[in-house]
A and B are shown apart, each in its own frame.
Chain A
Amino acid sequence: MNRWWASCLLSLLLFSGCAADSEQPPSTRNPAAPPAYGDSLIDSTIGEPTTLIPILASDSASHEVANLIYNGLVKYDKNLELTGDLAESWEISRDGLSITFHLRKGVKWHDGTEFSARDVMYTYRVTIDPKTPTPYAEDFKQVKTATAPDRYTFKVTYEKPFAPALASWGMNILPSHLLEGKDLTKSPLSRKPIGTGPFVFKEWVAGQRIILDANKNYFEGRPYINSYVYRIIPDNSTMYMELKVGGIDMMNLSPVQFQRQTNTKAFLARFAKYRYPASSYVYLGYNLRHPLFSDKRVRQAITAAINKDEIINGALLGMGQATHGPFKPGTWACNQRQKDIPYDPEHAIKLLSEAGWKTRNSQGILLKDGKPFQFTILTNQGNDVRLKTAQIIQQRLKRIGIDVRIRVVEWASLLSQFIDKGNFEALVMGWTITPDPDLYDVWHSSKTGPKELNFVGYKNQEVDRLIEQGRSTFDQEKRKQCYYRIQEILVEDQPYSFLYVPDALPVVNLRFRGIEPAPAGISHNLIKWYVPKMEQTH
């Protein structure tokens, strides 16, 4: 009976849905309307920011908001190249040991005080202060000396050349005149920040919204948009409905929403959809300490038995691309000519037989020394795409005689009970790809200890050497050679079966103009986004 009622109700809704969508008027927009000041951009976030003092925050929501309020000395431009932000220019000494930043003059904090090298020095000191509970001290701890010879110069020296150092100065700079000598963790700035950035903090209503106003005196020019509103909406479906009724102007779509739910005329008349590779990848990682995976031919065989395109089509509805290394396709460190192990189940069976997996039991499972080839893939709860990925892998491996089980574990348990203790066989997980290609933390053999990130236990001396070389020079061409070679080795060694880089799928209301999709995404020129006068709604 319940089911009957439910299906009646559902069909009624779906029917009314079709009718309503087709009644929307077609777009009457003028694509060449000139830029104008005004209107609000209403964005949405699933999680509420925790603090707007960026060095204390560890969640992406906090950093997203803080990045509109603060600046770093450097930033990534639309092509993911480092460019000046609060620093007008910089010089790297010939030996690569020191960086001298020349700061912009006349930049004002939102309270009117002038920005100077003192603020940079304060931010550096408070970050390395042992009393500050910050996760971002590591890069700054490499600094041997930091000096501020005058108001507009800041110089740092390192023990040895350290390529990721430059990017680390993208850290948001804090106002020393408001914080010096005070306890950062109890500062009111965590709820009412004062920065130098394009937007000025206006209001934070807990659990509901954060409102930022345009900084009329921003050094790169006043943003066209008058205010930026972050609505906190903890549920993705609610967010999507809010988008449809105009409650929010932009969000990130899921592959299903992008492919199946937003291809109506009515939707496309109101929204622009964007699609570009996200800065992350998903992989099947092996516990290399486990005897099952100690032979690289076995790992190569598993990769050869997995059809990556099938996973992308099945789990991501085609919204992604296959990958075989840890870099984002299209960036300078990624070797586009490097060939992956192709999908070839026959070759996989051959490789396994070479590794000693020759006979099969009555269920068709491969045997070696009488033991069946059987392992469990772990993945974290709440990520449907990863679970589907594991299931598709399970099916493919079954066909070549490998029995795979899947176990979905809550995030905290996965970390503490399995990954930290090395108590796993294989896992489907993902990594964020940082713009700087340094691989030290995830791939260096010194990082295989407990609670460290090379938890699969990958050790390769040549890779170690190349990683060290890559991070000790600022010469991009030399670094590129190191990373190209690392990719060759990783394809050969297959410590992970690298699977795919998913696409980022943002959608923005069409009344916003001036959006330029680039490798860095769409938000890199936010201050240039505008709404033509005729179309302004807020």
Chain B
Amino acid sequence: MYSYLLKRILMLLPLMLGITLITFVVIHLAPGEPVEMQVAMNPKISAKTREKMREFYGLDKPLHVQYVSWLNRLARLDFGRSFAPDNRPVIDKIKERLPITISLNVVALIIEFGLAIPIGILAAVYRNSLFDKGITIFVFLGFAVPTFWLALLLMYFFGVKLNWLPISGLHSLGSDRLPFVQRLLDLARHLVLPLTIASFGSLAGVSRFMRSTMLEVIGQDYMTTARAKGLSERAVILRHGLRNALLPVITLLGFSLPGLIGGSVIFETIFAIPGMGQLFYMGVMARDYPLVMGILVIGAGLTLIGNLLADIAYAFADPRIRSVKN
């Protein structure tokens, strides 16, 4: 088990290097350069000024030199400075937005899995019942309705028409002068709509997934055996069925980890939430290479760690995997 884990961890390094190389090349292949994006169509900029600006950002050097110097910095955990005119360290920009996105997505993930797992189990247990069919419709709505459209509808209905909830942002203006509890309430009110939207789309997928894995498990012999032992249906489902049905869902949870940092461009934009999704989108649009690379590296790192954790969780949940891997 431990040697397997060690091997897996060692494999992460070349994998990470490969990812950075590919993303570096891909982002440089996209048409447009940071300087161009800043000064294009500006009558006041001569070719010479443009060259000066390229030099300032080190864009005049060959691509491989740029990559190696970027890698060199990364080895010292220095993500470089943003190519945006503020020229701030990339890590500062990420630090500003990371806590918001992570906390928002963790809560969304808890809501999502907290709801999806019981919904999936119930839909499987009461297969083809009215509940199951109702949930199917709900699930397909979640799949089919575009996030931005649903978000706008909810904002219009609960924000503009009913005036129950704030429309965008994280705090009301002047909320910093409120007592702590009220400030917290203000934040919670701001988060209702974004969290609903953030969880709704994926809720559908996860609950559907849970339903199908549960259905597979329900038909297994060991479930019949458990029932034959005289266990209550509830105990059969929760103690024997759930544990096995959860295995693939754990993988899904592992895959959700990078989403914690990447955030969602769409809902962050619509709800004016200053998270990583928004930062990444703006970085890509401005061809802010160091910022994009910084976010991608952290994202890739988390994906790999997520997979690793999922594997470990798998191994713990299922003794067979442990022994096979040993």
Q: Across the interface, do A56 and B137 meet the contact criterion of CB distance under 8 Å?
A: no
Q: Across the interface, do B32 and A2 meet the contact criterion of CB distance under 8 Å?
A: no
Shortest distance between the CB of B184 and any CB in chain A (Å): 17
Q: Across the interface, do A51 and B160 meet the contact criterion of CB distance under 8 Å?
A: no
Q: Across the interface, do A16 and B52 meet the contact criterion of CB distance under 8 Å?
A: no
The answer, yes or no, to whether A477 is at the interface (CB within 8 Å) is no
Q: Which of B119-127, B161-169, B197-205, B304-312 contacts A (4 or more CB under 8 A)?
A: B161-169
Q: Across the interface, do B168 and A133 meet the contact criterion of CB distance under 8 Å?
A: no
- Chain A, residues 232-269, CB within 8 Å of chain B (1/0): the string is 11110110011011010000000000000000000000
The answer, yes or no, to whether B6 is at the interface (CB within 8 Å) is no
Residues 428-442 of A at the B interface (beta carbon under 8 Å): 431, 434, 440-442
The answer, yes or no, to whether B50 is at the interface (CB within 8 Å) is yes
- Chain A, residues 168-212, CB within 8 Å of chain B (1/0): the string is 000000000000000001100011000000000000011111000
Q: Across the interface, do B274 and A207 meet the contact criterion of CB distance under 8 Å?
A: yes
**Which of B36, B160, B161 lies in contact with A412, CB distance below 8 A?**
B36
Q: Across the interface, do B157 and A417 meet the contact criterion of CB distance under 8 Å?
A: no
- Chain B, residues 267-283, CB within 8 Å of chain A (1/0): the string is 00111111100110010
Chain B residues positioned under 8 Å from A415 (CB to CB): 31-32, 36, 40-41
Chain B residues positioned under 8 Å from A350 (CB to CB): none
CB-nearest residue of chain A relative to B271? Answer: A238
Known contacts A1-B137, A247-B168, A412-B32: A241-B43 contact under CB 8 Å: no
The answer, yes or no, to whether B3 is at the interface (CB within 8 Å) is no
Q: Across the interface, do A231 and B160 meet the contact criterion of CB distance under 8 Å?
A: no
Q: Across the interface, do B52 and A237 meet the contact criterion of CB distance under 8 Å?
A: no
**Which of A48, A232, A538 lies in contact with B174, CB distance below 8 A?**
A538
Q: Across the interface, do B278 and A245 meet the contact criterion of CB distance under 8 Å?
A: no
Chain B residues positioned under 8 Å from A50 (CB to CB): 84-86
Q: Across the interface, do A237 and B32 meet the contact criterion of CB distance under 8 Å?
A: no
Q: Across the interface, do B46 and A138 meet the contact criterion of CB distance under 8 Å?
A: yes
CA distance A307 to B144 in the complex (A): 41
The answer, yes or no, to whether B37 is at the interface (CB within 8 Å) is yes
Q: Across the interface, do B153 and A9 meet the contact criterion of CB distance under 8 Å?
A: yes
Q: Across the interface, do B44 and A139 meet the contact criterion of CB distance under 8 Å?
A: yes
Residue of A58, A62, A136, A191 most packed against chain B (CB within 10 A): A58
Known contacts A5-B141, A244-B160: A238-B40 contact under CB 8 Å: no
Chain B residues positioned under 8 Å from A135 (CB to CB): 38-39, 42, 44-45, 49, 53
CB-nearest residue of chain B relative to A455? Answer: B41
Known contacts A186-B87, A245-B167, A453-B41: A206-B145 contact under CB 8 Å: no
CA distance A9 to B145 in the complex (A): 12
Known contacts A2-B144, A136-B44, A415-B36: A233-B272 contact under CB 8 Å: yes
The answer, yes or no, to whether B47 is at the interface (CB within 8 Å) is yes
Chain A residues positioned under 8 Å from B173 (CB to CB): 40, 42, 209, 229, 538
Q: Across the interface, do A16 and B144 meet the contact criterion of CB distance under 8 Å?
A: no
CA distance A9 to B40 in the complex (A): 44
The answer, yes or no, to whether A416 is at the interface (CB within 8 Å) is yes
The answer, yes or no, to whether A17 is at the interface (CB within 8 Å) is yes
Chain B residues positioned under 8 Å from A453 (CB to CB): 41, 43
The answer, yes or no, to whether A6 is at the interface (CB within 8 Å) is yes
The answer, yes or no, to whether A65 is at the interface (CB within 8 Å) is no
Residue of A1, A134, A135 most packed against chain B (CB within 10 A): A135
The answer, yes or no, to whether B170 is at the interface (CB within 8 Å) is yes
CA distance A209 to B174 in the complex (A): 12
The answer, yes or no, to whether A20 is at the interface (CB within 8 Å) is yes
Q: Across the interface, do A241 and B159 meet the contact criterion of CB distance under 8 Å?
A: yes
**Which of B37, B85, B161, B282 lies in contact with A20, CB distance below 8 A?**
B161
Chain B residues positioned under 8 Å from A185 (CB to CB): 87
CA distance A5 to B56 in the complex (A): 55
Chain B residues positioned under 8 Å from A410 (CB to CB): 31
Q: Across the interface, do B85 and A57 meet the contact criterion of CB distance under 8 Å?
A: yes
Q: Across the interface, do B159 and A58 meet the contact criterion of CB distance under 8 Å?
A: no
**Which of B31, B56, B155, B269 lies in contact with A417, CB distance below 8 A?**
B31
CA distance A57 to B38 in the complex (A): 9
Chain A residues positioned under 8 Å from B141 (CB to CB): 2, 5
The answer, yes or no, to whether A25 is at the interface (CB within 8 Å) is no
CB-nearest residue of chain A relative to B38? Answer: A58
Q: Across the interface, do A451 and B50 meet the contact criterion of CB distance under 8 Å?
A: yes
Shortest distance between the CB of A357 and any CB in chain B (Å): 33
The answer, yes or no, to whether A413 is at the interface (CB within 8 Å) is yes
Chain A residues positioned under 8 Å from B273 (CB to CB): 207
The answer, yes or no, to whether A130 is at the interface (CB within 8 Å) is yes
- Chain B, residues 46-69, CB within 8 Å of chain A (1/0): the string is 110110110011000000000000
Additional A-B contact list (5), CB under 8 Å, known A59-B85, A207-B97: A13-B161, A16-B157, A232-B272, A235-B272, A238-B168
Q: Which 10 A-B pairs have the closest CB atoms?
A: A207-B274, A412-B32, A441-B43, A51-B86, A416-B31, A58-B38, A133-B56, A413-B31, A56-B85, A206-B96
24 A-B contact pairs sorted by A residue (CB < 8 Å): A1-B137, A9-B153, A48-B282, A50-B86, A56-B87, A135-B38, A138-B46, A138-B49, A185-B87, A190-B86, A190-B87, A206-B97, A207-B279, A208-B170, A231-B169, A245-B167, A412-B31, A412-B287, A415-B31, A415-B40, A415-B41, A416-B36, A417-B31, A538-B173
